[in-house]
Amino acid sequence: MNRRDFIQAAAASALIADAPASPATSKMVGLQVGAVSFVDEGVDKALDEIQRDAYVNTLFVATFTYGRGIAGRQTPGQPLPDHGRQEYDTAGNANAFHGGSYTRIHPQYYKDTVIQDFRAPELGDYDVLESVIPAARKRGMKTICWFEDVWRRDIPNIEQAQEKQFDGRNSTNLCFNNPNYRNWLLGTVEDYARSYEIDGIMWGSERQGAFAQALGAAHESSPRDVATVGCFCQYCERKARERGIDVARARAGFQALGEFTAAARRGQRPVDGYYVAVWRLMLRYPELLAWEMLWTDSLRETYAAIYQKVKSVKPSIGVGWHIWHNNSFSPIYRAEQDLGELSKYSDFLKMVMYHNCGGERMATYIGSVGRTMYGDVPGQELLDFHYRVLDYQQEKSLAEIPKSGFSANYVYEEAKRARTALTGTKTQLWPGIDIDIPTAQTNSRSTPDGTKEAVLAALRAGADGVLLSRKYSEMKLGNLRGAGAAIRELGLA
């Protein structure tokens, strides 16, 4: 038994001694769950189900978001799962989805920001942490606060924290370099760390810098016009100047890039071809890449600041990040996810490895970059190139992947790569596992076997746990039990 196995075994036996009700696994088995599930189904009933079906030992409770990806009931247009209230939280219903904070706001932590009014209204004054933590502890389950970088435009004072787009208008996104947002983030984690007996905090930001956005290098169905990319606010421009970036040259570069992408999307081929044209822009305007890295470094500084804030309050609280699925598609975004760098301020990383929706999303990504920098490359060739450079061995054709999803081998390869990149660091790898993440009705859907194979692949690749995603309220119990079957098969139950 090596030292790591010994520590894991010791941790497992300690868990048994302290909490007989908990499964005796040394691997983190996490599940993302929003407040509405506990309100609709009852805390104990939901926890019974989650423990029984998938041996979950860690709850990732969605404490704040304005997005439906991790909070609220099933997404409208998708079939309701076989548990929970059999209705959608659409406009007009009593509990119509709005989003915000699902915990009590303690105002003393938000004195240094204009963002003060962000309570989610739909569940009254229900505090999900106050309600869930005691019941979870009784069962030996850990609770991690899970919140994300998703905002809406109708929050009081929010315009004072928003990114500035290239066209000068405010974005829905907030700027990491704006003190109102930075202080809100630090206030929020301090609020969680001081007000509740939590075991961890995870935050996620599914965005990227202006250059990658402008190229459409993401799995977003409507690619960005350069007018809407960001950030070009006063704080970012000041930070750019401090780094020696010529702001006027950067703006000229984005202007030229925008003219290129607009023409490319109309099918107007540059005389030297699309790929050469992008290289010519990068060579003429290295500020395009400098601006991209400015944004990425600002995100990293935000991670580090959150990490230090939480550790200054209570060092035992684990802190880590949800890493966007674009890491599986775009080599540019993957280059920005330098795990050795991130490990300095990460106790854990949830790397998204959603196999089922991954096929549909990869096809969308290929369609998007196939209309800008790779405009000369036929879709299947472009996909094959990405399989090669991203190191995926067994995935299907462009026509098939939306209908088939990615294989479990994709999860294995991604988990193996990330685990290897983290060797020698303190950072735990917890791959995000897809259970019923919405896809088009005609495309591939989650199955119990598919879920089981994905969990097996992640753990066999050496992952330190798995995080069942995105939210309990969209998961079918049969598919959740697929995860449980994998845990049993590995002898971890």
Q: Write out the residues near Zn ion by the rule CB under 5 A.
A: 175, 177, 231, 233, 235-236
Per the CB < 8 A criterion, the answer to whether 187 and 306 are in contact is: no
Q: Least separation, in Å, of the C-beta of 490 and Zn ion?
A: 45
Burial of 94 per CB tally in 10 Å (0-12, 13-18, 19+): exposed
What are the contacts of 384-392 at 24+ separation with CB within 8 A? 386/329, 386/331, 386/362, 389/331, 390/328, 390/329, 390/331, 390/334, 391/417
Q: Which is nearer to Zn ion, 112 or 489 (CB)?
A: 112
Q: Which is nearer to Zn ion, 236 or 401 (CB)?
A: 236
d(CA 60, CA 334): 25
The conformational region for residue 282 under phi > 0 = left, psi -120 to 50 = alpha, else beta, is alpha
Q: Least separation, in Å, of the C-beta of 177 and Zn ion?
A: 5
d(CA 372, CA 270): 11
Q: Least separation, in Å, of the C-beta of 247 and Zn ion?
A: 12
Q: Which is nearer to Zn ion, 236 or 299 (CB)?
A: 236
Q: Which is nearer to Zn ion, 46 or 236 (CB)?
A: 236
Q: Least separation, in Å, of the C-beta of 173 and Zn ion?
A: 9
Q: Least separation, in Å, of the C-beta of 223 and Zn ion?
A: 22
Q: Which is nearer to Zn ion, 47 or 231 (CB)?
A: 231
Q: Least separation, in Å, of the C-beta of 232 and Zn ion?
A: 7
Terminal-to-terminal C-alpha distance of the chain: 20
Among the listed residues 294, 160, 151, the one whose alpha carbon sits nearest the alpha carbon of residue 232: 294
Q: Least separation, in Å, of the C-beta of 164 and Zn ion?
A: 6
What does the angle CA 353 – CA 356 – CA 357 come to, to the nearest 5 degrees? 85
Q: Least separation, in Å, of the C-beta of 324 and Zn ion?
A: 19
Burial of 73 per CB tally in 10 Å (0-12, 13-18, 19+): buried
Q: Which is nearer to Zn ion, 173 or 427 (CB)?
A: 173
* Sequence letter at residue 313: V
Among the listed residues 139, 142, 143, 141, the one whose alpha carbon sits nearest the alpha carbon of residue 21: 139
Q: Which is nearer to Zn ion, 175 or 363 (CB)?
A: 175
d(CA 63, CA 148): 9
Q: Which is nearer to Zn ion, 233 or 264 (CB)?
A: 233
Q: Which is nearer to Zn ion, 294 or 383 (CB)?
A: 294
DSSP category for residue 473 = G
Q: Which is nearer to Zn ion, 31 or 174 (CB)?
A: 174
DSSP category for residue 171 = E
Q: Least separation, in Å, of the C-beta of 163 and Zn ion?
A: 5
d(CA 492, CA 470): 22
d(CA 193, CA 116): 18
Q: Least separation, in Å, of the C-beta of 157 and Zn ion?
A: 16
